[in-house]
Structure 1
Amino acid sequence: MLVQEKELSSVEELLELIDDLQRLGISYHFEDEINQMLGCLYEQKYAWGKNNSEGKERDLYTTALAFRLLRQHGFIVPQEIFDCFRNEKGDFVPSLGHDTKGLLQLYEASFLSTPGEKTLDLAREFATNFLQKNPNEKIDESLSILVRHALELPIHWRVQRPNTRWFIEAYERRQDANPLVLELAKLDFNIVQTTHQQELKHVYRWWTQTGIAENLPFARDRMVECYFWTTGVFSHPQYSYPRIKSSKLNALVTVIDDVFDVYATHQELQLFNNAIQRWDVEAIDQLPNYMQICYLALYNFINDMAYDVLKQQGLLIIPHLRKSWADLCRTYLQEAEWHLRGYTPTLEEYMNNAWISISAPVILSHAYFLAANPIEEELVPSLYKYHDLVRYSAIILRLANDLKTSPCYMSESGGSGEEAVEYIRFLIGETWKDMNQEAFVADDCPLPQDFVRIAADLGRMAQYMYQDGDGHGIQNCDIKTRISTLLFHPIL
């Protein structure tokens, strides 16, 4: 269907098929074909200089869908492609308000904006205002479901794999659903779910063998949640090894966070941080027993991962892995000392520390070594100087985490909790613009595309996990239902 044009009667059908394959979670089977089709489409119709003359002839739905898919795949499509839908005052034509299908795609496309793209800012505001109202004309239920879902969180901010089942069920209700595509999506979902279950068994065995749960009973025992994060960040099924390793990393981050946050004395934290900064095994003699277990579990994890990389790619990465953990523990200690002193940092002080303490840099630095093949040694220094892509991903993760607990934002602004939440949402949107610039529009990003996608998906997974509260918390029934649906219940 992708390569035989006679199967598709229009550009619109081609774009819809690509969009459906992506949202159904099966586009990874057809990446080469999709990139080839979008490349041809870009050269024929949407390359800069070709859209002005054709703009009046295109409809809003196809234009917006093409813009989103092309930008998402790294094709530089200018925002001026939407100028034909604006009047002499620069406003979007009010008559577009009757085109719910087109407005939905305009809304979705606007989230691929970069800093300074005012047309896309206007597009988002215009489309949101109409979509939030009850349309006068009757629209079918399947479109109504997509509108409500988009207003909760746009496609570009949604992580693929954990949202796959929702879209499969929504797609099945569509009158134009392709039964062949639907059958493939269901079969693929169940096959990938079985892969996830086998990986989860592996990490659970490791977790049991560490003895951390018995010896550190105060720490969160969240192995399933720790694994679930990886299904979004390493969404392609072939990333089995990275998911297993990252699950272990997530578990260790969770435990060490609890050591600093809820249990250890200040003196113990200083000793633990010193041991991490020095990476001296003999320093653990000064630590209490529970910290010795935690320290050695981390030490063994780093050495084990480094051994695999050395064996497979001939590169010694121990110093790099140690640096990321040392940076993390340093920021944990800073937050503990602020708490001990009863000090509320300024928003700038808080964010300078918090984008590292949220653990995104340690996750992404490990992710590069887990997913890159071959590892480009010359890129490693930029990664560990925390490339902007890492920083933006980390900021989105931190802000998403802070949506329900925002004391710094409230303290500095003097506003209410609701105002603080709105401000955080604004900051998330602005950070996504920076992320889009670096990940999807800039043509000089030195990092490989697989890593770029992983960094963006970490931000998306954060918004998914914290959308309805703390996705890593014990009482979040909604997340537990999502986890169960993705990992344990096949589609019959």
Structure 2
Amino acid sequence: MAFHGHHHVFSKPHTILTINSLTPAFRLNTQPANISPNTWRSSHVRSRRSANYHPNIWDYEFVESLNTDYKSEICTKRAGKLKENVKGMFVEAIGLPYSLKLIDYIQRLGLDYHFHNEIKSALDKICMDAKDYHGSKNYHLTFEALKFRLFRQHGYEISEDIFKSFIENSNAKKGKVKDVEGLLSLYEASFYAYEGEKILNEAQKVTSKHLQNYLKERNDDESSMLIFLEEEISHSFELPLLGRLPRMEVRRYINMYEMNQDMHPSLLEFAKLDFNMVQATYHEELKYASRWWRDLGLHESLGFARHRLVECFLWRHVTEIVYLITVIDDVYDVYGSLDELKQFKEAIESKITILWYTLFLQVGYKHGGKPSALYEICFFALYNTVNEVGYNVLRRNNLDVVSYLKKSWGDICKSYLIEATWYYSGYIPTLEQYTNNAWTSIAGPLMSIHTYCELGDYENITKEALESITTNPISASWRKINTSLSSSRGVFPSSFINIIQNIARTAQYIYQYGDGFGIPNHEAKDRIMSIIVKPIPI
């Protein structure tokens, strides 16, 4: 859940800068050599562009009106009872198939955070089991593929070779495999391949072909279990499990699990109740974020920007950061002159210090102009937020992360400036030039480092992970991410890799049906309603 242990951004006992903090006594007479004397005078009178972004559809009053019946003590007690019932299911889970299915159901129903120890113990037991199902009469494609996927998800070592005999099987090549559930299980597992693995490539091709044929040849009078499978196959083709946003998948899968012939009533009720209780927490956290947004005042000062607070909240732990990224991105895309943007980038790149910003302002005052108040507002909002995050990590982990945060903000402003320079010069970059810059401008590294610091898992924050983010942007390749999850091949904590996964998933979620951020569409609105606003009937 978002903002656990997080307090108001202006409440910590460290220095908070405001525009009025910069009295003339602190303004130095030194002028940076690379700033043009005519910058502010010329930019002061220039006309500003507009991207005509759609207005915000989730206003402050709407957020404040959010209410729910799932915050009561009655719900808490019932959830506790159901949790104990589900714990008992782990004890009753006898045999590999039942254990694997139980873990998968719990994960996909969004309940795994309640059962970390139980899941680990169950997987450890399966891993240590000496019995080899592969190549024997007990080999079952459904459970071998499910075991493979769960092991890869949790960082256990398992080889793709377990599927070699299936791929080489003549029936598989001829399209005569009747185990539809097994085909779907292997299809989903194939997306957890490491770099350089080839058997899983072939497995994905084979299973995809068979599953497509199955959908074409299906009958209208099939059982509920087959209808369930067909729904799962269609959804997997649209977006594999690996790429789905967790909370969105939970909302969808609860409905699917209710149709499953293996459905356990206690597990289903707990999933629904837990979803609604988490949603109640979202309401409170979103209200806090909405008040922060209102007090910050950027929506009043920056009318040209996309004020998408609720959409930003879907990134959970870093609502404030995503909102600031969006606003500053729009400053570079829509508002600023090239000279202004260069100087703002230099202010951010130069470690975001009070000393540099006094110089930044002094140039404007000395040459008869004044920087737009917009830049002052953006600068101080960013300064306070970065130092707030740094303070939290320093207090809890005794690690100074501010320099890494500042470098990431400097890097993204530099990438925004490159794109602005292309626009003003009329230059059309090559695909290679654009993608090389986009690794940074899409905000992946910046989002990664802030989320890593904001998670609250402070004991696992390492300098190695921070330096990797700020020096080598992580590839969008899922295979590289999968490889990083391996206990023997990976060098980063699993919590860090999970952040990277969820950032990629969120991007897919926002833009799957078009620009659901800049131009909110029905799909984006419906998804937000299902996660944040509408509870699941129990």
Q: What TM-score do the two structures reach when normalised by structure 1?
A: 0.83
CA shift in 2, pair 1:35/1:135, >3 Å: farther
- Percent identity over paired residues: 38
Match of 2:519 in 1: 474
Where does the alignment leave 5 or more consecutive residues of structure 1 unmatched?
231-242, 397-430
Deviations 1:388-433 (A, max 9, x none): xx512xxx3xxxxxxxxxxxxxxxxxxxxxxxxxxxxxxxxxx111
* Aligned AA (1:333): L
Amino acid across the alignment from 1:83: K
Name the structure 2 match of 1:182: 268
Q: 1:329 aligns with which of 413, 421, 446?
A: 413
Q: Deviations over 1:277-306 (max 9, x none)?
A: 222221452421111111111111112222
Shift of 1:384: 4.3
Matched, 1:193 2:279: yes
| Aligned partners of 2:152 and 2:192 also within 8 Å | yes
Q: Does 1:156 align with 2:242?
A: yes
Q: Deviation per CA, 1:21-51, whole angstroms, max 9, x where unpaired? A: 11110111111111111121122158xxx45
Displacement of 1:176 in angstroms is: 2.4
* Matching residue's letter, 1:118: K
- 2:373 aligned with 1:289, yes or no? yes
Pairing 1:250–2:322 present = yes
Q: Is 2:147 aligned against 1:62?
A: no
Tell me what 1:20 maps to: 105
Q: Which range moved further: 134-143 or 30-39?
A: 134-143
Q: Residues 158-179 of structure 1, C-alpha deviation per residue, up to 9 Å, x if partnerless?
A: 1211221111111112232111
| Matched position secondary structure for 1:249 | helix
> Which of the numbers 429, 448, 472 marks the counterpart of 2:493?
448
Task: Note if contact 1:92-1:123 (Cα within 8 Å) is conserved in structure 2.
Answer: no
Q: Note if contact 2:481-2:497 (Cα within 8 Å) is conserved in structure 1.
A: no
Q: Is the 8 A contact 1:2 1:14 kept in 2?
A: no
For residue 164 of structure 2, the aligned residue among 56, 66, 83 is 83
Q: Is 2:478 the partner of 1:432?
A: yes
What amino acid maps onto 2:116 in structure 1?
A: E
CA distance in 1, matches of 2:191, 2:489: 21
- In 2, Cα distance between equivalents of 1:380 and 1:8: 38
**Residues 361 and 386 in structure 1, CA contact (< 8 A), matched pair in contact too:** no
Which residue does 1:265 correspond to in 2?
337
Where does residue 188 of structure 2 map in the other structure?
Answer: 108
Query: How many Å apart are 1:446 and its aligned residue?
Result: 2.9
Deviations 1:262-286 (A, max 9, x none): 1211121112112112222214524
Q: 1:130 aligns with which of 200, 205, 210?
A: 210
CA contact (8 A) 2:90 2:118 kept: no
The amino acid across from 1:443 in the alignment is S
Q: CA RMSD in A?
A: 2.1
Please identify, of 11-20 and 322-331, the stretch whose mean Cα deviation from structure 2 is larger. Answer: 11-20
| Contact 1:313/1:375 (<8 A) preserved | no
> Does the 8 A contact of 1:51 with 1:81 survive in 2?
no
Partners of 1:88 and 1:377 in 2: how far apart?
46
CA contact (8 A) 2:167 2:202 kept: no
Q: Distance in 2 between matches of 1:349 and 1:193?
A: 42
- Provide the C-alpha distance between the structure 1 equivalents of 2:216 and 2:130, rounded to a whole number of angstroms: 32
Structure 1 residues 327 and 6, CA gap change in structure 2 (3 angstroms): closer
Change (3 A) 1:85 1:159: same
1:177-216: CA deviations, max 9, x gaps? 1111000001100110011111101111111111100001
Alignment counterpart, residue 316 of structure 1, candidates 391, 397, 400? 400
Per-residue deviation, residues 83-111 of structure 1 (Å, max 9, x unmatched): 2213378x944355322111111110110
Equivalent-residue separation in structure 1 for 2:302 and 2:496 (angstroms):
34
Corresponding residue SS for 2:536: coil
Return closer, same or farther for 1:282/1:14 CA change in 2, 3 Å cut-off.
same
Q: 1:113 to 1:3 in 2, by over 3 A?
A: farther
Distance 1:382 1:190, change over 3 A: same
1:488 corresponding residue in structure 2: 533
- For 2:256 and 2:133, the matched residues in 1 are separated by 33
The separation in 1 between residues aligned to 2:328 and 2:90, in whole angstroms, is 55
Amino acid at match of 1:271: Q
Rg larger for: 2
Identify which of 228, 235, 258 aligns with 2:314. 228
Q: Could you tell me which residue of structure 2 aligns to residue 74 of structure 1?
A: 155
Among candidates 99, 103, 114, match of residue 29 of structure 1: 114
Contact between 1:85 and 1:93, CA under 8 Å: does it hold in 2? Answer: no
Q: 1:221 to 1:3 in 2, by over 3 A?
A: same
1:11–1:248 Cα change, 3 Å: same
Q: 4+ residue stretches of structure 1 with deviation over 4 A?
A: 1-6, 50-53
CA shift digits 1:223-266 (9 cap, x unpaired): 00011122xxxxxxxxxxxx2xx100000000000000112111
Q: 211-220 or 273-282: which moved more?
A: 273-282
Q: CA deviation at 1:309?
A: 2.4
Structure 1 residues 126 and 2, CA gap change in structure 2 (3 angstroms): farther
TM-score, normalised to structure 2's length? 0.76
| Shift, 1:71, TM fit | 1.1
**Corresponding residue of 2:126:** 41
Contact 2:152–2:482 at 8 Å: present in 1 too? no
Equivalent in the alignment of 1:407: none
Q: Secondary structure at the match of 1:316?
A: coil
**Structure 1 counterpart of 2:449, one-letter code:** S
Greater per-residue helix proportion: 1
Pair 82,293 (structure 1): closer, same or farther in 2 beyond 3 Å:
same
Aligned to 1:422: none
Structure number with the bigger relative contact order (C-alpha 8 A, sep ≥ 6) is 2
Instruction: For residue 16 of structure 1, report the CA deviation from its aligned partner.
Output: 1.3
Aligned residues: 433
Contact 1:112 1:436 in 2 (8 A): yes
Structure 2 gaps of 5+ residues are 1-85, 365-370
Secondary structure class of the residue paired with 1:262: helix
